Structure 1
Amino acid sequence: MRQKYVLVTGGAGYIGSHTVLELLQTGYKIVVMDNLSNSNLEALRRVEILAGRPVHFFKGDITSTADLERVFSQYAFWAVIHFAAIKAVGESAQIPLDYYHNNVTGSLNLMRVMNQFKVKNLVFSSSATVYGEPEIVPVNETARLGPVTNPYGRTKLFVEEMVRDLCKSDPEWNVCLLRFFNPVGAHVSGMIGEHPQGIPNNLLPYVIQVLQGRLPHVCIYGDDYDTPDGTGVRDYIHVSDLATGHVAALRKLEKRPGCVAYNLGTGTGYSVKQIVNAMEKATKKKIPYKVVDRRPGDVATCTADASLANRELGWSPIRSMDEMCQDMWRWTHLNPQGYDGPLKATAAAVAGDHKSS
């Protein structure tokens, strides 16, 4: 299988770039297809440095069948890892049609072209949002799906439904649906990390911009939830642990599992205030915050039961919340402008000590 290529859509993005690094270090040959709308080629350049191996890059958009056909004509693929999506919960409520077009139509195009080229192995990066307001926490894969509280989550659920229907219609398809929880952190080298465009939509990148003085304070959306301190509780997982989960899922495809869903999370919940405190500990800086109204579509608590992935994929997350915050702060310290500015010289020494993730 590894003589052929794996296509990674959205592979220049935050989770994609960390996964590409892990795949290269495991011996897979990788082609990244990305439209660079919320990602950066510099991430892949640094991935190549860390891995000591090349990444084949193809600029293209999954909403373009012509782009997909070109890349499938150019390389012999045996599997696809599908990250390419727009992913801001709040924004999805403001521009839902853009989300349905990119995430649902793009995925439909991808699977059609995969069918056309007889490539029927897929790892789909789904989301814990498909569970909606969980009835039981921690939530496992047998839980009811939906009702989903925002258009972004619905796009993930719709793609999952399409995949399930496709697998029923054609048993040659093998798909791992990875429902991951809240990815945070950065590669331990400090060379790759999250670089959101504009004002971040996720908590920790927002906290980072407050620490940098770019934003005045952290907004805590509601402190009256039924949680220990009233703020929303989430399951945060280190992005490098997510990356190893995708590699484990790809290995699972080699065993032809059919269509199966796995949660990727730690099972431990942290509230917004606990995250702020953890970042204060990692940075030794005070982080101002302000409580504002709840956001529509947010749920009180969502944590993962990832025991199925532990058992069937042989995968477990190994990084703590302290490591998530320390790695994120190292990335920020070495790359104060993200990929738009120079990497501080000290990063080269750090990278030399951390060849693996």
Structure 2
Amino acid sequence: MGVKIQDTLNYLLVALLAIIVALGLSSLILIWQGSNPWQAYAALFAGAFIGMGNLGASLVLALPLMLAGLGIALAFRAGIFNIGAEGQLYLGAMAATIVGSRYPGLPFGIHLPLALAASCAAGGLWAFIPGYLKVRRGFNEVITTILLNYIGVYFVDYSVNSFLKDPATFAPQSPPITATARLPKLLAGTELNAGLFLGLLVAVILFIVLYKTDWGFQVRAVGSNPEAGRTAGMNAGKTLLVTMVVSGALAGLAGAVQILGYQNILLQDFSPNTGYDAIAVALLGNLNPLGTVAAAIFFGALRNGANTMQILMGIPVTIVYIIQAIIIVCVLAFSKLKIRLINFKLREGVQ
């Protein structure tokens, strides 16, 4: 069996083991609260997947996590830690709203792509700032991206209370998105929209780019060993900067999908912590585009099923966030263990 296939299978086992451990530890909390874990998880599963309405809602919640997670996975692959997806997502949503709520005379084929492009540009430009500071000035990108998150989120909150506020209402919200800038619905009776195709397309393209192109090889090489990359003639600084911009553009696109796909207005605090949760999605997906898609769907299902679990069982939805956190901790812990086991097996096979 090839090393890559062995690594993939072992990581799937790691992820499965992490999920089982997380559910087991969460079961102890449920038992302590006086709830039946089997009934709770059955309600969660039913709320996430049983019925087209529930399945559509789970996928809708997964869409922004998917796109932002893909951007984060790309940046992490290059060795630059983009923690700024939250701010990039908010500014992408604001840019999409500015374009999407105006120019009602534009045809659908121009208006929607323009709004999506605006979101990518806003997210990419916001990511360019910490990328430039990292490459040219040596600033720590973790600190700069976190600080820029606050600026981005609060600036969007300011916008819906001032220059972007809908004059027809007293609420802090933007004017509605015009019909020509909205993503088409895919499933009647749900909010599932063409953003799903967009997310899957981005994942496939990113997978091909990362593993089948020279630039993707440079990204992975620089992320693994920047000095070796420079020795081999690669422009590590340029690779990091371009990767950071693309990562921010995908986070901005995640914000656009939320606004143009189902919310249709920009609200204050419209998507709290989605950018941070996308980091967990990328890590659970092993920084692989296809794995990130699966992790996003899993997290979306957890969130949607939690509502049903709360209604039927009276269990707070916060238990889902505990499960998410335990899963990520277990993945990080078990991955080290599995790597050692893989190496041992490979050596044993060679002998």
Task: Tell me which interval the TM-score lies in, with the shorter structure as reference length.
Answer: under 0.3
Q: Which has the higher contact order (CA 8 A, sep 6+)?
A: 2
Pair member with larger Rg: 2
Query: Going by fraction, where is strand more abundant, 1 or 2?
Result: 1
Query: Going by fraction, where is helix more abundant, 1 or 2?
Result: 2
